[in-house]
Amino acid sequence: MARVIGAVVVDKEECKGCSVCVEACPHDVLALHFEVNSKGYHYSYMKSPEACVGCANCGVVCPDTCITVYRTKAS
């Protein structure tokens, strides 16, 4: 069975830093960035991109729909 590699893209200007996606991630991939966006919120980012399997839990629970998840098969 091929391993799936995931990538999470966060629209950092729309993210309000609620951290729901951070809590929903079963592989501890996401965290809140120490920097803030133009609205003054700490935004979510991939702190451990190598651990992402593309499960999309983060995108499903995001109340602002600012997360897109991509999945590819590892070769």
Domains defined along the chain, listed by start: 4-73 (3.30.70.20)
Is residue 45 over pLDDT 80? yes
Q: Is 72 within 8 Å of 30 (Cβ atoms)?
A: no
pLDDT band at 1 (very low <50, low <70, confident <90, very high): low
pLDDT value of residue 73: 86
Is residue 29 over pLDDT 70? yes
Residue spans of alpha helices (H) in 6-68: 20-24, 57-61
Convert 16-46 to b/e letters by CB count within 10 Å (16 or more is b).
Answer: bbbebbbebbeeebbbbbeeebeeebbbbbb
Which residue is it, tokens 């079963």?
A: 26
Is residue 4 over pLDDT 90? no
pTM recorded for the entire structure: 0.88
Is residue 22 over pLDDT 70? yes
What span, in angstroms and rounded, lies between the C-alpha atoms of 27 and 49? 10
